Each structure stands twice: as C-alpha cells, then as structure tokens.
Amino acid sequence: MLNQFNKLSDDISATGQIFPEQIDFIKESGFKSIICNRPDMEKPGQPHHANIDKLATENGIEHAYIPLQPGRLTPEILDAMTKALETMPKPILAHCASGMRSTLLWGIVNVKALGVDTVITTARGAGYDLAKFRPVLKNFAK
C-alpha cells in the first residue's frame, strides 16, 4: 500500500519510500515526475533508485535521483533540487524514507519566496514538522 501523498503545493507532494509496484498507482494519481531524495542502501529491503527509475521511464514519468544523507546538505544537492523543481513536468512526487527530507529540501528551495513561517506552516499541514529546522530555514531565507 502506498504512503499518503502529502501536498506541499499544487506542483509538489512528498511521501515516504515508494516501491516499483506502486509506479502504476503514482501514474494514475497524475504525477508526471518523481524525485528520489533517499540514498540507495540506506536500509535493508529498500528498492534501488535505478529500479524505480526504469519503471517510471517506461511509464512516461520523469525521475531524478537527488539523495540527501541526514546532516549532509550540500550546495550541489540544493542546486539539483532547485533545477528539478523548476524544470521537471508537474505535478512532482518527492520521496525519501518518510517524506521529511523531501519536505525540508522543498522548504529550503522555496523559503526565499514563501518565508520561514509559511514553509513551516505548509509543511505542518502536510504532516511534517519543520519547526526544529527554523534556524536552517532562516539562514536560507536571507
């Protein structure tokens, strides 16, 4: 069973780990792109991103692999996420283990435009508590 799609905007939703057998449902749900923010081999039993990429491509869904290891945010990851959110067909489904990293990346990329409070409130409405990341978001809001 697929995790809930947690809507962050009209264009992007976050969710926990997806599996290859869920690609049909993701397509039927209207998603045009998938962003994987979870590094391969993080936990046993986790599908390799290439398997999801292959099935997504076969189903006409674009796929980007932008892994974020906890505590290892880099300018390259932010640049890749920014580019993906700007250029990939929408709507986009971003996923990681729980959806938290995907939501945090979305928040950092959008904090200048939306403001810290709006990012935190929007994330909370989608089921993710970014309050502990307020200092990080403030830093990227400058």
Contacts of 21 (CB under 8 A, 6+ apart): none
Confidence at residue 86, expressed as pLDDT on a 0 to 100 scale: 97
Q: Which amino acid is at 126?
A: A
Q: Which amino acid is at 136?
A: V
Confidence at residue 1, expressed as pLDDT on a 0 to 100 scale: 47
Tokens of 11: 């264009």
Share of the chain above pLDDT 90, in %: 92
d(CA 15, CA 126): 10
pLDDT exceeds 70 at position 2 = no
d(CA 46, CA 49): 9
d(CA 5, CA 7): 6
Tokens of 95: 């996923």
